[in-house]
Amino acid sequence: MRFEIEGNPDYGEVNIELGPGEELLAEPGAMSRMSSNMEAKSKRLGSFFGALIRKMFGGESFFVGRFTHPDGGSVTIAPRLPGTVTHRQMNGDSVFLTAGAFLACTPGLTVKAKFGGLRALFSGEGAFLVEVFGTGDLFYNAYGGVVEQTVAGKFTVDTGHLVAFEPSLQYTIGGMGNLKSTFLSGEGLVIKFQGNGKVWVQTRTLDGLAGWLTPRL
């Protein structure tokens, strides 16, 4: 498989050349264009994601797009929200992503739902985490720009702004402090990291866009 990320940092998209029989798994709707010979079939993610995801999505099975062709072909994938797309080569290691950040991967990787705790459920997509592990290529996206933070100690991130982080970090999800601050500060939930490792954050959130637009409707 060969790939090229174009359009970063504002409008990242990935052009992928698949060899004969090679497969790419991508989030639904990610395909923007492909060579006409490519097969695009849906694949039920029963074994791919844990049972937790089916519950989250109201009991419906979760689909992922599977791209492949016996002769090979090309496919371009783009995330739902515009911003920076990142490639990560996985070599038997693991990384945590927020569910909305997952874009695509090769079949050697497993994606498992990871709960941030009950409180994570109420903050929406941003706190819903997946763990990706195995060997292969992972593509993930940010809404807006992505910034890498090296944590050595403690660090706080608004859950909507979280993209990914290394498993060496411990984390808790909670409010901003006292009750008043949590519900009235408008910040919603935050994720507090502790330890040593990298965190990737994004400069825009879908909730932020909805909040900004609401008074203007």
Partner 1 sequence: MRHRLICGPGYAAAEIELSLGEELVAEAGAMAWMDDSIAVRTQARGGILKGLGRMITGESFFQNTYYAEGTPGKIALAPGVPGDIVPYEMRDETLIMERGAYLGHSGDIETSVSFEGFTGIFAEGLLALQVKGTGLLFFNSYGDIQEVAVDGSYTVDSGYAVAWQSSLDYSIGRTGRSIGTFLFGDQLVSRYQGRGKLWVQTRSPRTLASWVHPFRRVKSDNQ
Partner 2 sequence: MDVNVANRGAFGSALVTLQPGEEFISEAGAMYRASGNMEIEIKSRKREGGGLWGALKEGAKAMFAGESFFLSTYRVKDSQPGEVGLAPILQGEVSSLKVGPETWICAGGSFLGASSGVELDTQYQGLKKGMFSGEGLVYVRASGQGELLVSAYGRISEVEVRGGITIDNGHVVAFSEGLEYDIGKAGGWIASALSGEGLVLKFRGNGRILVQSHDRDRLGQALGPLLPSRER
User: What is the contact surface with partner 1 in residues (CB under 8 A)?
Assistant: 9-10, 82-83, 143-145, 147, 149, 153-158, 161, 176-177, 180-181, 184-188, 192, 201, 203-205, 208-217
Window of 110-118, 162-170, 188-196, 204-212 that interacts with partner 2 by CB under 8 A: 204-212
For 100, residues 6+ apart whose C-beta sits below 8 A from its C-beta are 80, 81, 125, 126, 128, 143, 206
The amino acid that residue 131 corresponds to is E
Pairing of strands 190-202, 162-165: antiparallel
- 11 binds partner 2 per the rule CB under 8 A: yes
Q: Name the nearest CA neighbour of 26 among 61, 83, 100, 77.
A: 77
Asked if 148 and 101 count as a contact pair (C-beta separation under 8 A), the reply is no
- 32 binds partner 2 per the rule CB under 8 A: yes
Beta bridge partners of 210: none
Angle at the Cα of 186 (from 202 to 194), degrees rounded to 5?
55
**Residues between 138 and 197 with contacts to partner 2, criterion CB under 8 A:** none
**Residues between 46 and 75 with contacts to partner 2, criterion CB under 8 A:** 60, 63, 65
Supply the minimum distance, in Å, between the C-beta of residue 154 and partner 2.
Answer: 30
Q: Name the nearest CA neighbour of 31 among 71, 80, 72, 69.
A: 80
Among partner 2, partner 1, none, what does residue 35 contact (CB within 5–8 Å per kind)? partner 2
Among 4, 39, 93, 148, binds partner 2 (CB under 8 A): 39
- 133 binds partner 2 per the rule CB under 8 A: no
Asked if 3 and 14 count as a contact pair (C-beta separation under 8 A), the reply is yes
**Residues between 77 and 106 with contacts to partner 2, criterion CB under 8 A:** 78-82
- Between 11 and 57, name the residue whose CB sits nearer to partner 1: 11
Q: Is 131 left (phi over 0), alpha (psi -120 to 50) or beta?
A: beta
Among partner 2, partner 1, none, what does residue 29 contact (CB within 5–8 Å per kind)? partner 2
Kindly list the residues in this chain that would bind partner 2 in the complex (CB under 8 A): 6-7, 10-13, 28-29, 31-42, 60, 63, 65, 78-82, 206-207, 209-210, 213-214, 217
